[in-house]
Amino acid sequence: MTVPAIEIDRLTKVYRPGKAPAVEEVSLRVPAGSVFGFLGPNGAGKTTTIKILAGLLSPTGGTVRLNGHDVERERSAAMAQFGAVLEGSRNVYWTLSARQNLAYFGRLKGLGKAAIRARADELLADLGLWERRDDKVGAFSRGMQQKVAIAAALIGDPPIVLLDEPTLGLDVEATRAVKDRIAGLARERGTTVLLTTHQLDVAEELCGQVAVLRQGRVVADLPTRDLLAGFRERDRYEIRIEGAAPALPPGFEAAEHDGLTVITGRVGAVAEVYDLVDRLREGGAVLQSLAQVQPDLEDVFLALTRGPAHV
Ligand SMILES: Nc1ncnc2c1ncn2[C@@H]1O[C@H](COP(=O)(O)OP(=O)(O)OP(=O)(O)O)[C@@H](O)[C@H]1O
């Protein structure tokens, strides 16, 4: 059996004894060469987990392995497996130019001058930083600084890349460049990428698999398309009629907007919607529109993270 690139076993982190754990009994497997999304509301434990994977925090319990190397027990071997960009931390040196930053991080990874030059030039060109390669990073926009941080994490061509909110605060163009680079890493180099994001379109576009964390626990861990398919079985419909709301069958609810009544409901079969439309017409309602509303990952995520915890 091939070793998963990232193996998390019953990981628990308690920051303050007596307080609820930030991460509780989390177990996950990330196959090599995949892009895996870590989702969850604020405070769910995503950053804590990534920091433990990157060796910046010690777990209270459980283990994490990167390409089979235990982060606590085989530290240097585990550290050689990844490059990381962590949220909110200064990942690059502002007084150095983009190219000098990459040279510095390349030397840290033990690369020779020629290899650093070739790789740095490729990354700078790829991420749209070529024109500004000799400017100090301190004078860059947030998006450009983020791109330098990503390039620095990739300079040693690590097999695993950990990215905490890689597109946070970036404009449309910068987000596109970063998303393309992430997709290309997995597709062309076989790199394993674990990313956290609140931007569900990013997860939906890039991640083959997602885990949803809530209050430190995994509430879903499955292929992104299965997560969506599970919800699409129960599509949501929206019917707009003129005038007041009539009595509705279970599963439907009505709200009034500007003299129109908007009826919404999730149904198992489309026939239920047509039955309702017939009944509305028979009752004299004037139908304005009927639409099917496809859920996106945000609907799914909200459904999983609302309601009682730890179900
Ligand atoms: N250094 C710390 N000391 C004490 N508690 C902490 C510390 N860092 C995080 N926490 C707590 O741990 C829990 C998980 O936080 P974490 O930052 O891992 O969540 P997150 O999912 O990354 O959230 P966000 O989406 O807001 O970045 C939160 O309740 C947070 O308050």
Ligand 1 centroid to residue 23 C-alpha, Å: 9
pLDDT at 271: 84
Best substitution site from 12, 15, 168, 194 to test ligand 1's pocket, by max atoms within 8 Å of Cβ?
A: 15
Tens of pLDDT, residues 159-186: 999 999 998 878 888 888 889 999 999 9
Domain locations in the chain as residue ranges: 6-229, 236-293
pLDDT at 310: 43
pLDDT of 236 > 90? The answer is: no
Contact (Cβ atoms closer than 8 angstroms) between residue 212 and residue 301 = yes
Tens of pLDDT, residues 114-160: 999 999 999 999 888 999 999 999 999 888 898 999 999 999 999 99
ipTM of the complex: 0.97
Residues near 121 by beta carbon (within 8 Å), at least 6 away in sequence: none
Q: Who has greater pLDDT, 273 or 216?
A: 216
Distances (CA, A) of 69 to 8, 66, 84: 11, 5, 17
Residues near 230 by beta carbon (within 8 Å), at least 6 away in sequence: 300
Tens of pLDDT, residues 243-298: 787 888 888 899 988 888 999 887 777 788 888 999 888 888 899 999 887 766 66
How large is the average pLDDT for residues 105-109?
A: 91
Ligand 1 centroid to residue 216 C-alpha, Å: 9
Distances (CA, A) of 147 to 37, 261, 273: 19, 48, 48
Indicate which residue's Cα is closest to atom 26 of ligand 1.
42
The crossing angle, in degrees rounded to 10, of helices 113-126 and 98-108 is 130
Percent of the chain scored above 70 by pLDDT?
93
Distances (CA, A) of 31 to 5, 180, 201: 5, 20, 22
Ligand 1 centroid to residue 29 C-alpha, Å: 22
Best substitution site from 42, 49, 57 to test ligand 1's pocket, by max atoms within 8 Å of Cβ?
A: 42
Strand bridging mode 160-164 / 82-85 = parallel
Token pair recorded at residue 142: 């947030």
Q: Which of 183-197, 220-234, 254-268 shows the lowest mean pLDDT across its residues?
A: 220-234
Compute the residue count for the chain: 311
Ligand 1 atom with the smallest distance to the CA of 51 is 18
Cα 19–chain centre separation: 27
pLDDT at 247: 85
**H or E segment and range at residue 271:** helix 270-282
pLDDT of 103 > 90? The answer is: yes
pLDDT at 25: 97
- CATH annotation of 6-229: 3.40.50.300
Q: What is the rounded distance in angstroms from the CA atom of residue 131 to the CA atom of residue 6?
A: 36
Ligand 1 centroid to residue 4 C-alpha, Å: 26
pLDDT at 311: 36
Indicate which residue's Cα is closest to atom 16 of ligand 1.
45
Indicate which residue's Cα is closest to atom 4 of ligand 1.
15
Q: Which of 159, 162, 150, 167 is nearest to 204 (CA)?
A: 167
Q: Who has greater pLDDT, 2 or 90?
A: 2
Ligand 1 atom with the smallest distance to the CA of 20 is 29
pLDDT at 273: 87
Q: Which of 200, 155, 202, 209 is nearest to 182 (CA)?
A: 202
Ligand 1 centroid to residue 275 C-alpha, Å: 48
Residues lining ligand 1, judged by CB closer than 6 Å?
15, 22, 40, 42-48
How large is the average pLDDT for residues 78-103?
A: 88
Ligand 1 atom with the smallest distance to the CA of 213 is 21
pTM higher than 0.95, yes or no? no
Contact (Cβ atoms closer than 8 angstroms) between residue 242 and residue 285 = yes
Ligand 1 centroid to residue 266 C-alpha, Å: 35
Ligand 1 centroid to residue 308 C-alpha, Å: 20
Indicate which residue's Cα is closest to atom 5 of ligand 1.
15
Contact (Cβ atoms closer than 8 angstroms) between residue 162 and residue 192 = no
pLDDT at 200: 77
Q: What is the 3-state secondary structure (H, E, C) of 104-157?
A: HHHHHCCCCHHHHHHHHHHHHHHCCCHHHCCCEHHHCCHHHHHHHHHHHHHCCC
Cα 22–chain centre separation: 18
Q: Who has greater pLDDT, 29 or 307?
A: 29
Q: Spelled out in words, what is the top-level CATH class assigned to the domain 236-293? A: alpha beta
pLDDT at 88: 63
Considering the chain, what is the average pLDDT of its residues? 89
Is the fold of 6-229 the same as that of 236-293? no
Neighbours of 33 (CB within 10 A): 16
Q: What is the rounded distance in angstroms from the CA atom of residue 16 to the CA atom of residue 249?
A: 50
